[in-house]
Amino acid sequence: MEPISPLYTANLFPPLYEELDTLLHGLSHDDWDRPTVAGHWLVRDVVAHLLHGDLRKLAAYRDGHLLPPSRPITSYAELVGFINSLNDQFIEPARILSGRLLRELLAFTGPMVCELVASLPPHGSSLFAVHWVGESESENWLDTGREYTERWHHQMQIRKSVGAPALLERRWLFPLLDLSMRAVPVAYRDTSAPAGAAVVVTVGDDGGGSWSLVREDDEWKLFRGQVPSPTTTVTMEGEHAWRLFFNALPAHEARQRLVVTGDASLAEPLFGARSVMV
């Protein structure tokens, strides 16, 4: 085992955008209006959301333009509500745009975002904290990692909807999982256990791996690798892992899909772990 450490993903943005552009080029007219696992959003809405993310990233980090909330945000729920309202304000009018226009606009913004994230000092202070890891202040490498997981999982929503091949190779999946696992200690923070109790999470695909959550000094600490003789072991496939962390695998389905050995009660908080703001 080794303690969890920073993970740098800026180099993954250019090839991920290339994959997205190829995917969008191949969509038929009907594909743009297919439903997705992203709630009521159609494929075109998910693509518009990706464009929205690019524009907001460039405006805030490159140009110093931030849209303040209309009233102070005093809770996590209010922050989620504010983010959801920003998304809705963009998605609704974006429905007048054709699929071709959305693709062309992303081809324009994508290279600028790639250049931007590559230019940010990894350990400098990010404009935005990554709240799902429990931080009120974050470094750029983590916020860039959050942006990577955002772009990857929305692209996967499109791929799942239109039957395109999934991006589950190690170059994509391991960084996604390693970043997403940082939400697990937050999910367990109200769970008590004896010192030394450990939950091992293993994703069995070639791009997966194992992570250990260990109870030390009255808190849960995350490690890469497997602790010997864990209290609980949870094994899953990559397809189920990304759906779980990104709110597309309900808890009742997770209990059916994930394999739990040992103390099953210590697996329960994992079913609610989310590496996205919900």
Instruction: Please tell me the predicted confidence (pLDDT) of residue 96.
Output: 97
Instruction: Please tell me the predicted confidence (pLDDT) of residue 278.
Output: 84
Instruction: Please tell me the predicted confidence (pLDDT) of residue 225.
Output: 96
- Residue with the bigger pLDDT between 76 and 44: it is 44
| 73, two tokens | 């945000």
What is the band of 68 on the pLDDT scale with cuts at 50, 70, 90?
confident
Q: What is the mean pLDDT of residues 147-173?
A: 96
**pLDDT of residue 257 exceeding 90:** yes
State what percent of residues in the chain have pLDDT above 90.
Answer: 88
Distance (Å, rounded) from C-alpha 191 to C-alpha 54?
37
Residues 141, 264, single domain; the answer is no
What is the band of 69 on the pLDDT scale with cuts at 50, 70, 90?
confident
| Cα–Cα separations (whole angstroms), residue 46 to 51, 53, 91, 123, 130 | 9, 11, 9, 30, 21
Q: What is the mean pLDDT of residues 72-98?
A: 91
Residues 206, 71, single domain; the answer is no
Residues 163, 203, single domain; the answer is no
Instruction: Please tell me the predicted confidence (pLDDT) of residue 204.
Output: 86
pLDDT in tens, 100-146: 999 999 999 999 999 999 999 999 999 999 999 999 999 999 999 99
Reported as type and span, the H/E element at residue 243 is: helix 238-245
* Torsion angles phi and psi, residue 156, rounded to 5: -65, -35
Beta strands 209-216 and 198-203 are: antiparallel
Residues 83, 20, single domain; the answer is yes
Residues 216, 133, single domain; the answer is no
Residues 235, 157, single domain; the answer is no
Residues 128, 221, single domain; the answer is no
Average pLDDT, the chain: 95
Residues 187, 163, single domain; the answer is no
| pTM of this structure | 0.94
Instruction: Please tell me the predicted confidence (pLDDT) of residue 274.
Output: 96
Contact criterion met (CB below 8 Å) for 205 and 168:
yes
CATH number of domain containing 219: 3.30.1050.10
Q: Count the domains in the chain.
A: 2
Contact criterion met (CB below 8 Å) for 202 and 209:
yes
Residue 258 lies in a domain: yes
Q: Residue 165's closest CA among 174, 156, 173?
A: 156
CATH number of domain containing 46: 1.20.120.450
| 126, two tokens | 């990010």
**pLDDT of residue 73 exceeding 90:** no
Residues 129, 258, single domain; the answer is no
Query: What is the full DSSP assignment across 102-166?
Result: HHHHHHHHHHHHHHHHHHS-TTSBPSS--GGGT-SS-BHHHHHHHHHHHHHHHHHHHHHHHTPPP
Residues 47, 161, single domain; the answer is yes
| Cα–Cα separations (whole angstroms), residue 163 to 10, 248, 256 | 28, 17, 23
Residue 37 lies in a domain: yes
Last residue of one domain, picked from the residues 167, 200, 215? 167
**pLDDT of residue 205 exceeding 80:** no
- Eight-class DSSP state of 184: H
Last residue of one domain, picked from the residues 167, 195, 218? 167
Residues 118, 247, single domain; the answer is no
Residue 175 lies in a domain: no
Q: What is the mean pLDDT of residues 4-24?
A: 98
Residues 39, 146, single domain; the answer is yes
**pLDDT of residue 99 exceeding 90:** yes
Distance (Å, rounded) from C-alpha 100 to C-alpha 126?
33
Range of the structural domain that residue 125 is part of:
8-167
Residue 277 lies in a domain: no
Distance (Å, rounded) from C-alpha 57 to C-alpha 64?
10
